[in-house]
Amino acid sequence: MMPANATIELRRLSDTISALDIRGEVTAFAEPMLMDTYLRATTEGARAVVLNFAGLDYMNSSGIGLLVTLLIRANRAKVRLLAVELKEHYRHIFELTRLNEAIRIYPTEAEALAALAGF
Amino acid sequence: MTTDPETASQPRDEAFWARAIGALKVRTMPVEALNLNVQGRHLVGPLQGFGPLYHKRYRVRLVGVALSPESVIQTWRQNFASFWPQGNHFFAPLSGIAPGEVAVLNIASPVGVKMSTGILVIYSDETCFTFMNPQGHMFAGMITFSAYEENGVTVAQVEPLLRSNDPFWEVMMRIYGFKREDWFWHQTLTALARFFGAQAEVEFAEECLDPRYQWAGAKNIWHNAAIRSGLYTIMVRPVQRLARRVSRHPVRRN
- Dist. CA B134–CA B120, nearest whole Å: 8
Candidates A69, A96, A103: best to mutate against B (most CBs of B within 10 A) is A96
The overall average pLDDT reported for chain B is: 91
The predicted pLDDT at position B155 comes to 96
In a domain, B75, yes or no: yes
Half-sphere exposure in the Cβ direction for B209 (13 Å, CA): 22
In a domain, A58, yes or no: yes
Calculate mean pLDDT across residues B174-180: 93
In a domain, B2, yes or no: no
In a domain, A40, yes or no: yes
Q: What percent of chain B has pLDDT over 70?
A: 94
Calculate mean pLDDT across residues A73-94: 96
CB B104 within 8 A of CB B9: no
- Total domains in the fold of chain B: 1
- Dist. CA B193–CA A6, nearest whole Å: 33
Candidates A1, A27, A56, A60: best to mutate against B (most CBs of B within 10 A) is A60
In a domain, A44, yes or no: yes
Torsion on CA atoms B239, B242, B247, B248, rounded to nearest 10 = 150
Q: What is the 3-state secondary structure (H, E, C) of B17-40?
A: ECCCCCCCCCCCCCCCCCCCCCCC
- Total domains in the fold of chain A: 1
Provide CB contacts within 8 A for B133, sequence distance 6+. Answer: B43, B44, B117, B118, B119, B120, B139, B140, B141, B142, B162, B165
Provide CB contacts within 8 A for B190, sequence distance 6+. Answer: B60, B200, B202
Is residue A11's pLDDT more than 70?
yes
- Paired with B129 in beta bridges are B124, B145
Q: What are phi and psi of B54, to 5 degrees?
A: -120, 145
- Dist. CA B44–CA B165, nearest whole Å: 8
Is residue A107's pLDDT more than 80?
yes
In a domain, B247, yes or no: no
CB B144 within 8 A of CB A64: no
In a domain, A1, yes or no: no
Range of the domain at B29: 14-43+50-210
Considering only alpha carbons, which residue of chain A is nearest residue B100?
A96
Q: Which amino acid is at A91?
A: R
CB B124 within 8 A of CB B96: no
Q: What is the 3-state secondary structure (H, E, C) of A15-38?
A: CCEEEEEEEEEECHHHHHHHHHHH
CB B123 within 8 A of CB B242: no
Q: Is A82 in a helix, a strand, or coil?
A: strand
Calculate mean pLDDT across residues B145-152: 95
Q: What are phi and psi of A78, to 5 degrees?
A: 60, 40
CATH of the domain at A64: 3.30.750.24
Is residue A75's pLDDT more than 90?
yes
In a domain, B140, yes or no: yes
Our CA-based measurement puts residue A86 at a distance from the nearest CA of chain B, in whole angstroms, of 12
Our CA-based measurement puts residue B92 at a distance from the nearest CA of chain A, in whole angstroms, of 20
Candidates B10, B14, B17, B55: best to mutate against A (most CBs of A within 10 A) is B17
pLDDT higher at B245 or B167: B167
In a domain, B56, yes or no: yes
- CB contact (8 A) between residue A96 and residue B144: no
Q: What is the 3-state secondary structure (H, E, C) of chain B?
A: CCCCHHHHHCCCCHHHECCCCCCCCCCCCCCCCCCCCCCCCCEECCCCCCCCEEEEEEEEECCCCCCCHHHHHHHHHHCHHHHCCCCCEEECCCCCCCCCCEEEEEECCCCCCCEEEEEEEEEECCCEEEEEEECCCCEEEEEEEEEEEECCEEEEEEEEEEEECCHHHHHHHHHHHHHHHHHHHHHHHHHHHHHCCCCCCCEEEEEEEECCCCHHHHHHHHHCHHHHHHHHHHHHHHHHHHHHHHHHCCCCCC
Whole-structure pTM value: 0.91
In a domain, A119, yes or no: no
In a domain, A14, yes or no: yes
In a domain, A47, yes or no: yes
Considering only alpha carbons, which residue of chain A is nearest residue B125?
A60
Q: For residue range B64-73, what is the model confidence (pLDDT) as tens digits?
A: 999 999 999 9
The predicted pLDDT at position A88 comes to 94
| pLDDT band per the 50, 70, 90 thresholds, residue B233 | confident
CATH of the domain at B191: 3.30.530.20
> B122: which chain A residues are within 8 Å (Cβ-Cβ)?
61, 96-97
Q: What are phi and psi of B232, to 5 degrees?
A: -60, -45
Put simply, whether A95 touches B (Cβ < 8 Å) is yes
Q: For residue range B186-230, what is the model confidence (pLDDT) as tens digits?
A: 999 999 999 999 987 999 999 999 999 999 999 999 999 999 999
In a domain, A11, yes or no: yes
In a domain, B183, yes or no: yes
In a domain, B187, yes or no: yes
Is residue A3's pLDDT more than 90?
no
Asked whether the ipTM of the predicted complex exceeds the cut of 0.90, the reply is yes
In a domain, B240, yes or no: no
Range of the domain at A49: 6-114
